A and B are shown apart, each in its own frame.
Chain A
Amino acid sequence: MDTASALSPASLPVDDDGELTRLHPNYAKALRLRTVLTAIPFLVAALVVEAVLRDKALLPPGLIAGTVLVIALALVIRIPQSRYNARGYQISADRLRVVRGLLWRSDTVVPFGRVQHIDVDQGPLDRFFGIATLTLHTAGNHNASVSLPGLGEELARTMREDIRAHIRRESL
């Protein structure tokens, strides 16, 4: 990833409609793995139903489990990549812009001057893929916390330090 451009935010012009920086490629993999993990219980349930209904001969064998499998495969193959493509962020001298959502798109800008505190979170899956979630908390009721998942671990930390340095500079 082009960490260099994100690390020197001051050099970027203030433009909220500019090109988005893409997230860490591992984020797509993590999304895919998460989808697989979500699909497994449904597949198991479908197999159980299949086994129960086998003797009744109501439906041709494999119809239920097959349908679920096809849907699950479609979801696992298609959705994570499109979700990954739909997400992005843009960091500039004094603000962070986070874009997300496939159908319901949301495009949020948080000025660093309004950040109350900053979190960097890593779940077990994130740790495995070496990515992290950066969360900015504001005092507003709407968007009280804006999270940006799928950043490289190092990058997330650096961004946190950058934003924190900005806050400290502002309040001095």
Chain B
Amino acid sequence: MSEPQRTAPLSVALGAIGSIRSAIFPAIAIGFSGIGSSSGNRFWIALAVGLVSFLIGTAFSYVSWRRLTYTIGETDIRVESGLLSRSARSVPFERIQDVSLEAKLLPRLFGLVAVKFETGAGGGEDMSVQYLTNGEGERLRQLVRERRDEEQAAPIANADPEAPVAAPASEGEVLFAMGPGRLLRFGLFEFSLAVFAVLFGALQYFDNVVDIWNVDLWYRWLKEQGNTVATLGPYVQAAGAIAGVIVLVVVGMMSGIVRTFLRDWGFTLTRSPRGFRRQRGLLTRTDVVMPVHRVQGLVIGTGLIRYRFGWHALSFVSLAQDDAGGSHVVAPFAKMDEIAPIVAAAGFRLPGETTRWQRASKRHRTDKTVLDALIFGLAAIPVAIFAPPGLALIPIGLAVVAVAANLYAWEFRRFALGEAQIFSTSGLLSPTSQIATRLKLHSVEIAQGPLARRRGYATVHLGLAGGTFAIAGVPIEAARDLRARVLETIAATDYSRLDQALNEAQSGLSANFLAT
């Protein structure tokens, strides 16, 4: 096992296909340029250039395949690569946060995956091996996971070493899955006008072809259209405006649905003995495993409208992150009663009846409301003076909206200190909840601005690995009390024993062993 291994030979074919793609452009460019006297000549030159760059690309991908090896050692995994300048990277098993398999469209057709080892090192410096066959990737992941767990289990005398290793981690209990119906509904809420941005970008791209910035051209066109519209009368104009809005909404929803289907097709979250496993994606299929003990906290988010229908999204805060840099989403669109079992499986508990919520300071609410309204109020003054009458109503109306939104937001702004956890919710029109284990926090800061100091409230920042946790507008005495109690929990266990302490908590007795 410890000798260097190569990736799947089919990777060369993928590299060759990739080089066709990069060969097409120079070939076309030559085809349309003035090189060569007659058009027949030009065609052959273009073909030759395309062929040569394809051959070079293929040769290159073959050689780099020859030179790319990975070695699974006793304590680490090493990847060596490079044609002229060799690079060797080694990652110890215990530092691997999770192993994810990613299959983009093309590799997927060939049955290949890219294996990524997420280490939690910032800046996307994660190690990846591409491409391996599906089975090989799965095997490698299994292996890394076992090695890592052996290493971690070593100091704790493992009670029954046979059971977890023998259990095939691939098939676990399905915690959450989304069918096409759910995806469709999810997509409706993922309203997005990104398609217009893309269109705009495309327009700029074709700028050279058609002179779209020619103002006269547009002006003439608008004038013609305007004349036509003007002759139609007010009712038809209104109908036209409504139709325009409807088109906008339909396009927005359609693009939302398409994006959702592409990203979350076949979304399944399973619980295996090793952790959580999430598979999703239509064209690019990803497969991520998150060990339970790496989960630092939970975020339950929602949206303005979907909250009214009872839909929420659950994500895990951990050092490993999704591509966009966010936390791992484990249930993007679910009812609370679907989220509850996932939360429980992660070793957390949702706030219940007995949770004693503490509200944010009312003074904080007043100050924030006044400050937010003041911005719009001040903006109203120059508008009232210089702009045509009536326009000043817009900032004044916004100020009123700001007041209403802030008063409403206060309803959500609260926190609670559970026996082992800390809860907090906040949000403007829809609540976002955060849950963190008290034990897994790293520092506590009480921050106060000049206004907050005078008015007796503070923002409490909790140091959370892989995410942020801040509670705003906490009355100062409550903040001090919160800090004292959280620190009491933190200081009791050293960082190096964190996993151990939590393993005991989860495998063993009860979730609230920390109550003592």
Using a CB–CB distance below 8 Å, which chain A residues touch chain B?
Answer: 16-17, 94-95, 103-116, 138-144, 146, 167, 170-171
- Chain B nearest CB from A87 CB (Å) reads 15
Instruction: Flag whether B493 is at the interface (Cβ < 8 A).
Output: yes
For this complex, 16 residue pairs linking A to B, each with C-beta atoms less than 8 Å apart, are: A16-B487, A17-B480, A103-B450, A107-B448, A108-B443, A109-B445, A139-B463, A139-B465, A140-B465, A141-B464, A142-B443, A142-B445, A142-B461, A170-B497, A171-B495, A171-B496
B451's nearest neighbour on chain A, judged by CB, is A103
- Flag if B483 contacts A139 (CB, 8 Å): no
- Flag if A113 contacts B450 (CB, 8 Å): no
Instruction: Flag whether B469 is at the interface (Cβ < 8 A).
Output: yes
- Flag if A170 contacts B494 (CB, 8 Å): yes
- Chain B nearest CB from A83 CB (Å) reads 15
Indicate with 1 or 0, residue by residue over B11-50, a CB within 8 angstroms of chain A CB atoms.
0000000000000000000000000000000000000000
A106's nearest neighbour on chain B, judged by CB, is B447
Between A107, A113, A138, A142, the greatest number of chain B beta carbons within 10 A of the residue's beta carbon is seen for: A142
Cross-chain contact of B441 among A116, A140, A144 (Cβ < 8 A): A140
- Flag if B495 contacts A142 (CB, 8 Å): no
For the residues of A in contact with B, the DSSP-based class is: mixed
- Flag if A141 contacts B468 (CB, 8 Å): yes
- Chain A nearest CB from B476 CB (Å) reads 10
Instruction: Flag whether B392 is at the interface (Cβ < 8 A).
Output: no
- Flag if A171 contacts B448 (CB, 8 Å): no
Cross-chain contact of A105 among B447, B487, B490 (Cβ < 8 A): B447
- Flag if B444 contacts A108 (CB, 8 Å): yes
Indicate with 1 or 0, residue by residue over B186-213, a CB within 8 angstroms of chain A CB atoms.
0000000000000000000000000000
Instruction: Flag whether B446 is at the interface (Cβ < 8 A).
Output: yes
- Chain A nearest CB from B367 CB (Å) reads 15
Provide the bound-state CA to CA distance between A16 and B483, in Å. Answer: 8
Provide the bound-state CA to CA distance between A95 and B488, in Å. Answer: 10
In the bound complex, residues from chain A placing their C-beta under 8 Å from that of B461 are 142-143
Provide the bound-state CA to CA distance between A95 and B491, in Å. Answer: 8
Using a CB–CB distance below 8 Å, which chain B residues touch chain A?
Answer: 441-450, 453, 461-470, 480, 483-484, 487, 490-497
- Flag if A109 contacts B480 (CB, 8 Å): no
Cross-chain contact of B449 among A103, A142, A167, A171 (Cβ < 8 A): A103
- Flag if B450 contacts A142 (CB, 8 Å): no
A115's nearest neighbour on chain B, judged by CB, is B495
Provide the bound-state CA to CA distance between A17 and B480, in Å. Answer: 8
In the bound complex, residues from chain B placing their C-beta under 8 Å from that of A139 are 442, 463, 465, 495
Provide the bound-state CA to CA distance between A60 and B446, in Å. Answer: 48
- Flag if A142 contacts B464 (CB, 8 Å): yes
- Flag if B448 contacts A111 (CB, 8 Å): no
In the bound complex, residues from chain B placing their C-beta under 8 Å from that of A170 are 494, 496-497
In the bound complex, residues from chain A placing their C-beta under 8 Å from that of B453 are 105
A96's nearest neighbour on chain B, judged by CB, is B443
- Chain A nearest CB from B257 CB (Å) reads 34
- Flag if A116 contacts B495 (CB, 8 Å): yes
- Chain A nearest CB from B418 CB (Å) reads 19
Provide the bound-state CA to CA distance between A139 and B466, in Å. Answer: 8
- Flag if B443 contacts A146 (CB, 8 Å): yes
